[in-house]
Structure formats: C-alpha cells, structure tokens
Amino acid sequence: MMVFMTIIMVLFKLTCHRNQRVKDSQIQICNLCRDNHKTQLWLSFLILSFLTTCTRADSEIEDLLTCLENLDSTLKKSDAMLYTAPLSDVEKCKHMVLKCYMVELIMVIIEEKINDKKADCLRHFNETLTPEVGCPQCEMHTLQNISTFLKILTNTLQKLNSL
C-alpha cells in the first residue's frame, strides 16, 4: 500500500505545476486531475450510450413477442394461408424474413378488420425493418395456416432474442 501511495505522489509531482505540487503528505489536486474527472464522466456516458443501444435492440424483439401473445387469440380466428419463411433463412436474411412475417400479419389484420390498438406494434416494427438484397421474396416461401405461421414466427423471434 505504501508503494502505491508513493507512486501516486511521484505521478502528481510530475504532472502538476510547481506551485501545486505535493506538500508534506497531502495531495493537492492540479488542473490536469480536475479535467480527468470530466474525461471519466464522458467515457462513462459514452459506454452507457452503447449499452443502452444494445439492450434496446433486444427489447424490440421482446416487445414484438409480447405483442404477438396479446394478439394470438384474435389472429388465430383467421383461416388465412400465409407465406412462412423457414427458421434456416433467418441466418442469411434476418430483416427480410421478419419483414415477410410482418407484411403477412398486417395483411391478416386488414382482412379480418382488426381495429385493435394492440396491432400498432406490428406496424411500428415493420417500419423499422430495412429490405436486404439477395434474399428470396416472401412469395417464394411455403404457405402455412395461421397457427403454424405463428408458431414458427414465435420460434424465430425467440431464436433471435437468444443471439
């Protein structure tokens, strides 16, 4: 502990101006050290900003899962056949697969005339997705009934959420 304190005192002697140097065993704060607190604050803010962005991305999928759970009984009343992307396509074309799922769900909401505010989360999520180049069109996937469609979509979202 004594060696550590000696190192700190030597560092302060080197970095502080002559009139601000260590006197006796007291350490006086110099201008360089005051600025250091601002640097630490900005670095902390920057790191928290990055962490907030990362956690928000995950929670969008969680929000979508919650949204689907709320709409599950309403959506299952439909007898529509929907284009369902396989789970294997998610690794290659994540955004395009999710966009296909959202377009199909929005189509069901329009056809079934579901005027529930709970469905707005699907529209909002669809707006955040960007199409990808080189991915198959939604119509290239197989047709499935709504129950199978929702089951595969839920599995896909859970897989994405765990990554």
Instruction: Give 25's pLDDT tier (boundaries 50, 70, 90).
Output: very low
Phi, psi at residue 139, to the nearest 5°? -70, -10
| Structural domain harbouring 42 | 2-48
Q: Give the model confidence (pLDDT) of 125-152 as tens digits.
A: 989 888 788 888 889 999 999 999 999 9
Q: Give the model confidence (pLDDT) of 41-69 as tens digits.
A: 666 776 777 766 554 445 788 888 998 99
Q: Are residues 154 and 93 both part of a single domain?
A: yes
Q: Are residues 88 and 141 both part of a single domain?
A: yes
Q: What is the pLDDT of residue 18?
A: 55
% the chain with pLDDT above 90: 24
Give domain status of residue 53, yes or no.
no
Q: What is the DSSP string of 114-161?
A: ---GGGHHHHHHHHH----TTPPPGGGSEEEEHHHHHHHHHHHHHHHH
Q: Are residues 42 and 111 both part of a single domain?
A: no
Give domain status of residue 54, yes or no.
no
Q: What is the pLDDT of residue 26?
A: 47
Q: What is the DSSP string of 30-89?
A: -HHHHHHHHHHHHHHHHHHHHHHHHHHHHHHHHHHHHHHHHHHHHHTT---EEEE--TTH
Q: Are residues 86 and 120 both part of a single domain?
A: yes
CATH code for the domain in which residue 149 is found: 1.20.1250.70
> Total structural domains in the chain?
2
